[in-house]
């Protein structure tokens, strides 16, 4: 059985908890940030269970409890003081209580308003990463067009703009690639967590990590960089050029300062 809705309720709890810790971050001298990291790690690990089949909700609970104490962030692996340790323990305890509440609920759960996000690890991720490399020449340890040393000449359809010129047209871009009805893949910088790709229905601009998106047929690519560039390649290039026709003077011009 698939328990995506239970998992999404748990993910929503983690996201809300992370937001609470972020808001408290300044007032407590920064130590509550470890709570944000714990909650975000839990959300990440839960996303690896999306679409995974379990014999029962009890088996799902067992799998979740098995990764409660699996951590990736250095500040969680080695808490800096007793307060940080307390925050980690408290967050995990509260999460387990909420998990038990969900498991014990008799009435059907309402649908959790969490966008589809499946974290892909293991052999499936390796296969996708190989395809990102072979089709788009992208490796997550280096930059991609236009920031790479040598442009991918084998990709004939490509251009880039600075994100400021694309930002007003993000909704139209999402419509061009079929979001949120279709699922796409993303892959990017990953320093601390297991190597992974993501299946998603969201196109998120640069948020701290270089990220490339592609459709499931690998017919197009969109790349958001730290330098504020957005690159397009493949089948969507003519449509995106039409969308950004009023910004033509800014195509393929690096204007970051």
Distances (CA, A) of 17 to 24, 49, 63, 77, 94: 11, 20, 21, 19, 10
Residue with tokens 């490796």: 139
The mean pLDDT value for 140-144 works out to 87
Q: Are 117 and 198 in contact (CB under 8 A)?
A: yes
What mean pLDDT is predicted for residues 30-44? 88
Residue, of 69 and 151, whose pLDDT is higher? 69
**Least confident interval from 82-86, 120-124, 198-202:** 82-86
**232: DSSP letter:** E
Measured CA to CA, the distance from residue 231 to residue 151 in angstroms comes to 12
Q: Which residues contact 256 (CB under 8 A, 6 or more apart)?
A: 162, 227, 228, 229
- Quick count: other Cβ atoms within 10 Å of Cβ 135? 17
pLDDT value of residue 25: 66
CA atoms of 143 and 103, how far apart (whole Å): 44
- Band of the pLDDT at 27, cuts 50, 70, 90? low
What residues have CB less than 8 Å from 120, skipping those under 6 apart? 48, 128, 196, 197, 198, 199
Residue 233 has phi, psi (to 5 degrees) of -145, 150
Owner of token pair 């239970």 = 6
Q: Is the pLDDT of residue 221 over 60?
A: yes
Q: Is the pLDDT assigned to residue 191 strictly greater than 90? A: no
Half-sphere exposure in the Cβ direction for 39 (13 Å, CA): 22
> How confident is the model over 154-176, as pLDDT tens digits?
898 999 999 999 999 999 999 99
Query: Looking at residues 49-64, what average pLDDT do you find?
Result: 97
Q: How confident is the model over 227-254, as pLDDT tens digits?
A: 899 999 999 999 999 999 999 999 999 9
CA dist., res. 73 & res. 46, Å (int): 16
Q: Where are the beta strands (DSSP E) in 73-162?
A: 117-120, 158-162
Q: Give the pLDDT band of residue 200 (cuts 50, 70, 90).
A: very high
197 Cβ partners below 8 Å, 6+ apart? Answer: 120, 124, 125, 128, 129, 132, 185, 186, 187
Which pLDDT band holds residue 30 (cuts at 50, 70, 90)?
A: low
Q: Specify the higher pLDDT residue, 18 or 142.
A: 18
Return the structure tokens found at 207.
């948020």
* Burial of 239 from C-beta contacts in 10 A (0-12 / 13-18 / 19+): middle
Measure the CA–CA gap between 125 and 129, rounded to whole angstroms.
6
């Amino acid at each position: 059985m698939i328990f995506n809705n239970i998992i999404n309720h748990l993910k929503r709890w983690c996201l809300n908890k992370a937001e609470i810790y972020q808001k408290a971050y300044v007032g407590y001298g920064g130590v509550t940030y470890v709570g944000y990291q714990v909650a975000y790690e839990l959300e990440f690990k839960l996303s690896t269970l999306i679409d995974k089949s379990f014999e029962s909700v009890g088996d799902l609970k067992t799998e979740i409890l098995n990764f409660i104490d699996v951590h990736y962030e250095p500040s969680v692996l080695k808490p800096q003081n007793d307060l940080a340790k307390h925050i980690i323990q408290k967050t995990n305890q509260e999460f387990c209580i909420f998990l038990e509440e969900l498991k014990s609920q008799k009435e059907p759960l309402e649908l959790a308003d969490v966008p589809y996000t499946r974290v892909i690890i293991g052999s499936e991720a390796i296969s996708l990463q190989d395809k990102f490399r072979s089709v788009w020449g992208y490796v997550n340890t280096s930059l991609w067009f236009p920031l790479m040393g040598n442009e991918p000449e084998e990709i004939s359809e490509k251009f880039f703009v600075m994100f400021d010129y694309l930002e007003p047209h993000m909704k139209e871009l999402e419509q061009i690639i079929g979001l949120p009805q279709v699922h796409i893949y993303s892959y990017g910088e990953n320093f601390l967590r297991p190597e992974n790709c993501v299946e998603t229905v969201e196109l998120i601009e640069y948020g701290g990590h270089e990220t490339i998106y592609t459709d499931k047929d690998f017919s197009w690519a969109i790349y958001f960089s730290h330098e504020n560039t957005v690159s397009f390649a493949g089948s969507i290039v003519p449509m995106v050029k039409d969308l950004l026709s009023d910004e033509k003077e800014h195509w393929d011009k690096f204007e970051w300062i």
